[in-house]
Chains A and B, each alone.
Chain A
Amino acid sequence: MIEVKNLTKSYGDFRAVDDISFTCRSGAVTGFLGPNGAGKSTAMRMIVGLTPPTSGTATIGGVNFSDIPNPGTQVGVLLDASAQHAGRTGREILMLGSITMGLPKQRVDELLELVGLTEKESKRRVRHYSLGMRQRLGIAHALLPDPKVLILDEPVNGLDPAGIHWMRGLLRYQAERGGTVLLSSHLLHEIEVIADDLIVIGNGRIIAQGAKDELLKGQGTLVRAKDHAALGTALRAANLEFTTHGEDGFTVQSTPEDVGLVAAQATVALTELRDSDGSNLEELFLSMTSETQRGTTFPIGANA
């Protein structure tokens, strides 16, 4: 539904977004993940036509965003919850959006209720809103016309746990009814829970992408035996790559079946044989973006 091809944005010598390509399917939530300054927001602004790309294309349903008539009604966009006039009331901001899009007036009330902003809060100026409230207002704005595509930049930022839970339900519902959702975040755990597909970006380049389950699947086989040394000898003899795991185990770059056969032929009794644990997204993220992280590693108190 959203298709990005070789998208690049340069500012002088600096490549904020460097030749990225990806697709967001309909019926799925795509998580756009990367550290601060990785190029997520720039990429999203290019998708909605606010930032002219240096090269490459971004289309939604096969067309440029700016060629969509009354685009707000089909693509709900939230790029920055704080980019609102602080002197307007929340209700007025939704009102301006619904007038532009040509929606019935009661949509404003419906959406305020949906995102949990009270009548009283909606009449306060946005200056007095917390980040969480602005975020809810921005989400209400994106959802005003009940769009089929959602493009949300850091929507869970500033939401409280209840808000994050609510957000998950909302995005899941949107995907289940066939909608397309692209959301960015640097909050790994949120993305890990919400997203079906992942795009990991660092330094403007895509580092990894694919189905979340695939990306997080464990690599190799975990095997343990009482006779640790004999197992090691057998694995080495079978020319399998492996590393030690704990006191008496190995992580082998092979399937459990092959490892089991090797052990059986060497008549080593195993105490455990299974797929190794899936790495979580945080490990993946840190390992992939380690070169692009800001700041140096802080080893004190880190448990290895």
Chain B
Amino acid sequence: MTTLLEPTIDLTARKVPLHRLVDVELRKLIDTRAGMWLLILIGAVIVLVEAVLVITAINFGEVAPWSVMFAVMATPLGLLLAVLGVMTVTSEWGQRTSLVTFSLEPRRMRVVLAKLLAGLLATVVLLLFTLVFTAALNQLQATIIGQDAIWDVPRSQLVGFGILHTSAFFLGFSFGMLIPNTPAALVAYFVFRFVVPGLLMTLGMFWDWFAPVVNWVHFSNALEAVLDVAPTSEAYWHLASATGLWVVLPLVLGSVLLVRREIK
């Protein structure tokens, strides 16, 4: 009745395909209260901020341009997507689930890649939701007020909006990779986001030699310059350098540490 087990390891078996790992990481984003609430919170912030804007516009009887709808969203959405980026990685460490995760897939960088893709997918879905939702609201308020909707966001700026927020996710992810602890990684990100830019500008003012350096390391300025109507070729180099410093470097360092780390 009992079949004897082969006492050998089958090395010809198929390795875990990436799509299954991504599938698992997508589930992990929503199968805990913390993860679920973060996504609900992001959705709620988008809805509420836009609702307040549109209600105000209707009260004043003057349509709010589509560009304003994007502008009011920029800061809160950017922050929340960075938090999503951080938590996509760090949630693995808080509860020691890494013991299971990395014994089912010992090739640790594949798990990291799956996490990155899952988080990126969630980011894209949220951005598409923002796009569709604001477009619908824009039309709605125009109809209610009885004026023409102002579609003043050209496709190039939509792309810029996408890049801006995707970069927020990437930044969060990289910080989370480097600092495998949710609160610490979040604090580091907030320092980067709110303290570092001012600090760089101040240092640039104090030391003349530092002023040109600022352009190469100031991430949001560099990104803004590239998303400008007519970016200079130098602007691209500035962004590449700042991205290297704030996204690629922590990601690479974090990956090296992760591959070598003892998981316990």
Residues of A bordering B, CB below 8 Å: 1, 26-27, 41, 45, 48-52, 60-63, 65-74, 77, 79-80, 82-89, 92, 95-97, 99-102, 141, 148, 173, 176-180
Q: Does B14 contact A50, Cβ atoms closer than 8 Å?
A: no
Chain A, Cβ-Cβ closest to B36: A87
Contact indicator B263/A71 (Cβ below 8 Å) = no
Report the separation of the CA atoms of residues A26 and B27 in the bound assembly, to the nearest whole angstrom: 36
In the complex, chain B residues 57-86 whose Cβ is within 8 Å of any chain A Cβ: none
Q: Complex Cα distance A134/B8, Å?
A: 30
Which of chain A's residues has its CB closest to B23's CB? A99
Complex contacts, A180 vs chain B, CB 8 Å: 7
| Distance from A277 Cβ to chain B, minimum over Cβ atoms (Å) | 36
A63 and B11 contact, CB distance less than 8 A: yes
B28 in contact with A102 (CB, 8 Å):
no
Which B residue's beta carbon lies closest to that of A85?
Answer: B95
Within the complex, what minimum Cβ distance (angstroms) separates A139 from chain B? 13
Q: Find the B residue at minimum CB distance from A59.
A: B9
Instruction: State the interface size on chain B (CB cutoff 8 A).
Output: 43
Known: A71-B103, A96-B27, A99-B27; 16 extra A-B contacts, CB below 8 A, are: A27-B7, A50-B103, A68-B106, A69-B10, A69-B12, A69-B16, A72-B104, A73-B13, A85-B91, A85-B95, A87-B34, A89-B31, A102-B17, A148-B6, A173-B2, A178-B5
Partner of A100, one of B34, B95, B104: B104
Q: How far, in whole Å, are A177 and B2 apart by their CA atoms in the complex?
A: 6
On whether the beta carbons of A71 and B100 are closer than 8 Å, the reply is no
Q: Give chain B interface residues in 30-44, CB to chain A under 8 Å.
A: 31-34
CB distance from A181 to the nearest CB of B (A): 11
Q: Is B157 among interface residues, defined by CB-CB distance under 8 A?
A: no
Q: Tell yes or no: B127 within 8 A of A by CB.
A: no
Listed A/B pairs (27) with beta-carbon separation below 8 Å = A45-B263, A48-B103, A49-B102, A52-B262, A60-B9, A61-B7, A68-B106, A72-B103, A72-B104, A77-B103, A79-B103, A80-B99, A83-B96, A83-B99, A85-B97, A88-B31, A96-B24, A96-B28, A97-B100, A100-B20, A102-B14, A102-B17, A102-B20, A148-B6, A177-B3, A178-B5, A179-B5
Nearest CB in chain B to that of A79: its residue:
B99
Given contacts A60-B9, A96-B24, A96-B28, contact A66 B107 (CB under 8 A): yes
Would you list the 3 A-B pairs with minimal beta carbon distance, nearest first? Answer: A61-B9, A66-B106, A83-B96
Contact indicator A176/B2 (Cβ below 8 Å): yes
Determine the distance from Cα of A97 to Cα of B27 in the docked complex, in whole angstroms: 11
**Shortest Cβ gap from B194 to chain A (Å):** 30
Inter-chain CA distance A280–B16, complex, in Å, is 45
CA distance A84 to B95 in the complex (A): 6
Query: In the complex, which residues of chain B have a beta carbon less than 8 angstroms from the beta carbon of A86?
Result: 95
For A173, what are the chain B residues with a Cβ–Cβ distance below 8 Å?
A: 2
Interface pair B5/A148, CB less than 8 Å apart:
yes
> Given A100-B20, A102-B16, A74 and B10 touching (CB < 8 A)?
yes
Q: CB distance A92 to B31 under 8 Å?
A: yes
Q: A69-B11, A79-B99 are in contact. Are A100 and B16 (CB under 8 A)?
A: yes
B91 contacts across to A, CB distance below 8 A: 85
| A50/B99 contact (C-beta < 8 A), A70-B13, A148-B5 known | yes
Q: Contacts A60-B9, A63-B11 hold; do A71 and B106 have CB atoms under 8 A apart?
A: yes
How many Å lie between the Cα of A294 and that of B8 in the bound state? Answer: 40
Q: Is B263 a contact partner of A51 (Cβ separation < 8 A)?
A: yes
Decide: B13 and A74 in contact? CB cutoff 8 A: yes
CA distance A225 to B145 in the complex (A): 115
B105 at the A/B interface (Cβ < 8 Å)?
yes
| A49 surroundings in chain B (CB, below 8 A) | 102-103, 106
Least CB separation from A74: chain B residue: B9
State whether B16 touches A70 (Cβ < 8 A): yes
Q: For residue B9, which residue of chain A has the nearest CB? A: A61
Q: B8 to chain A: which residues have CB within 8 Å?
A: 61
B27 touches A100 (CB 8 A): no
Interface: B4 (CB within 8 A): yes
Q: Bound state CA distance, A247 and B27, in angstroms?
A: 71
A84/B34 in contact, CB under 8 A: no
CB contact between A84 and one of B23, B100, B103 (< 8 Å): that residue: B100
Known: A80-B99, A95-B27. A88 touches B32 (CB 8 A): yes
Chain A residues, CB < 8 A from B100: 83-84, 97, 141
Q: Is B155 an interface residue (CB 8 A)?
A: no
User: Nearest Cβ distance between residue A61 and chain B, in whole angstroms?
Assistant: 3
CB neighbours (8 Å) of A92 from chain B are: 27, 31
User: Which of chain A's residues have a CB closer than 8 A to the CB of B10?
Assistant: 69, 74
Q: Which residues of B contact A60 (CB under 8 A)?
A: 9
Q: State which residues 128-173 of B face A: CB under 8 Å.
A: none
User: Measured between alpha carbons, how far is A99 from B100 in the docked complex, in Å?
Assistant: 13
